[in-house]
C-alpha cells in the first residue's frame, strides 16, 4: 500500500470530503508502518508511535465533523415549493415585529 498524493495540484479539483478521506488514509498508513517498525525492532509501539496516532486522531476528527453542503434535489424542490416569495415576505414581516 502506498501513500496518496495530497499535493495542492493533486487535490485542486477534488471534493473536500474526498481530500479529508485521503489525509485520514495517509495518517492511518503512516501509523501502521510505525507500529510495524516498532514491533519489528522490539520497541514500545505506544511510546514510539504516539505522534502518528495523534495525527490519525486529528484527521479522524476533521473527517467526522465535516458535513457536505445541502444539495439534495428532492429536498431543494420541496423547499422552493414551500418558500414562495409571498410566504417569505410574510415571514420577514413577522420576524420584524418580534
With contact defined as beta carbons under 8 Å apart, do 21 and 63 qualify?
A: yes
pLDDT in tens, 25-73: 999 999 999 999 999 999 999 999 999 999 999 999 999 888 776 667 7
Which residue range forms the structural domain that includes residue 13? Answer: 8-70
Percent of the chain with pLDDT over 70: 96
- Total domains present in the chain: 1
Contact present, 20 and 66 (Cβ < 8 Å): yes
The 10 Å CB-count burial string (b at 16+, else e) for 31-61 is beebbeebeeeeeebeeebeebbebbeebee
On whether residue 3 sits in a domain, the answer given is no
Domain for residue 86, yes or no?
no
Task: Please report whether residue 39 resides in a domain.
Answer: yes
The model scores a pTM over 0.85: no
Instruction: Considering only the C-alpha atoms of the chain, give the largest distance between any 2 of them, rounded to a whole number of Å.
Output: 72
In a domain, 61, yes or no: yes
Q: How much is the pLDDT for 77?
A: 83
Amino acid at each position: 500500500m502506498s501513500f496518496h498524493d495530497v499535493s495542492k495540484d493533486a487535490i485542486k479539483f477534488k471534493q473536500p470530503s474526498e481530500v479529508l478521506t485521503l489525509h485520514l488514509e495517509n495518517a492511518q498508513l503512516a501509523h501502521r508502518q510505525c507500529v510495524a517498525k516498532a514491533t519489528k525492532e522490539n520497541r514500545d509501539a505506544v511510546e514510539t508511535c504516539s505522534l502518528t496516532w495523534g495525527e490519525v486522531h486529528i484527521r479522524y476528527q476533521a473527517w467526522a465533523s465535516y458535513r457536505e453542503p445541502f444539495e439534495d434535489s428532492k429536498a431543494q424542490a420541496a423547499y422552493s415549493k414551500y418558500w414562495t416569495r409571498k410566504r417569505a415576505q410574510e415571514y420577514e414581516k413577522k420576524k420584524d415585529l418580534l
